[in-house]
Amino acid sequence: MRVLFFGCPGFGHAVPQLPLARAMRDRGDQVAFVAAASLGPLLEAEEIALLAAGPEVPELVGELKRTTGVDILAAPPSAEVEAEIFAGARIDLGYEDSLAAAREFTPDLIVVDAMDYVGRIVASALDIPHAVIALGPAVRPESVAAADARSAESHATRGLTPHKARWYLDTCPPALQFDDFRAPATRLALRPEAYTGGAAVPAPGGSRARPRVLVNFGTLFVIPEVITPIVQALLTRHLDIRVTLGPMRTAEEFDVDSDRVEFVGFTPLAQLLSDVDAVVTIGGAGTILGTLAHGLPMVLTPLAADQPVHAGRAAAAGAGIAFPVGEFKPGDVAEAVASVLETPGYKEAAQRVAAEIKAMASPAQVAAELAAAID
């Protein structure tokens, strides 16, 4: 079977798809990924081919600012602006190259992330079945309605009719899902996991003199002016601190000088989590699901995009403390970290979610089921 994955630009949209892509590759399927060229190093490490197509994040941000006046990295966008991002601008900027890449690859199945409408329109154009991978909790109905309507316009402009997804691959454990979620008949549970980089997951570390906290703001929101005061506040506590730099920052950009702080470049999340006790994060779906798969509590400091949604669901499950978007003071973050470390209920809730995740179907099981249906 030939399987073509599609993802929005940014590691956070690609990483949740990698366990399934890896499982398909390991069972002998031909697997490739259509995405922005910047995802090349990530996919090269997985030995998965990249068919580079579509805009990078800065180009997409610039196009949206030009057409709507909205800076999508500054605050959570409205449902209408979300629709324009994913089902309008991304299609306009990337459809032709993506379609050409897909035609050359000749897939039997297309897999897209929940917000990728380029892969969906390519599936319509080629009349190929497609599956949607959820990035955590279900996208809210108002956002789905707006994006579907905008996608229908993009299809009509090109003389196409939208095709419904044949499968909804749900990575969200029940504890994080919205109460009003009604699973579609096409749902298959798909176990999420912390990004491993294709390597074995490290064994948990041994005993330490101090608890260790991971500060992980993803790849796009590593802002020294935001993170430095948080780290300085954490240093007033009896803690060791690990800070991720993402692909574009260096340790010298942070006004921190302490042997209790470790700065690390882009590193598989599973490795980062193997010897920490809690995580401070902006609330990306991949980080939240990976952290909970390890049964670790969190302090959630969302800044933009869908981060408040994911952060709110983790807090509602009792697995952490979430602040309103952009409304967190460094001292309050340090106090919240002390609370999640000292109050057993947070770790207990995280471990309950971890048990739910463990019970979900493995990527290998889902890959086999998809293959059986296609063959």
Task: Say whether both 229 and 330 belong to one domain.
Answer: yes
Q: Would residue 197 count as lying in a domain? A: no
Tokens of 157: 């402009």
Tell me the whole-structure pTM to 2 decimals. 0.88
The tens place of each residue's pLDDT in the chain, 375 residues long, gives 999 999 888 787 888 899 999 999 999 999 999 999 988 988 988 889 999 998 988 888 888 888 877 776 666 678 888 888 888 999 999 999 999 999 999 999 999 999 899 999 999 999 999 999 998 888 888 888 999 999 999 999 999 999 999 999 999 999 999 988 888 999 999 999 988 876 666 666 666 789 999 999 987 788 889 999 999 999 999 999 999 997 778 888 898 889 999 999 888 899 999 999 999 999 888 899 999 999 999 999 998 777 888 999 999 999 999 999 888 999 999 999 999 999 999 999 999 999 999 999 999 999 999 999 987
Overall domain count for the chain: 2
Token pair of 129 as six digits:
């079945």
Give the start-end residues of each E strand in the chain. Answer: 2-6, 30-35, 49-52, 109-113, 130-133, 167-170, 187-189, 212-216, 240-244, 261-264, 278-281, 298-300, 320-322
Please, is 188 exposed, middle or buried when counting C-beta atoms within 10 Å of its C-beta (0-12, 13-18, 19+)?
A: middle
**74 is in which domain, residue-wise?**
2-192+360-374
Note whether 246 and 278 are same-domain residues: yes
148 and 10 housed in the same domain: yes
Beta strand 167-170 with 130-133: parallel, antiparallel or unpaired?
Answer: parallel
- 50 with 93, same domain: the answer is yes
CB 136 within 8 A of CB 15: no
Same domain membership, residue 139 and residue 60? yes
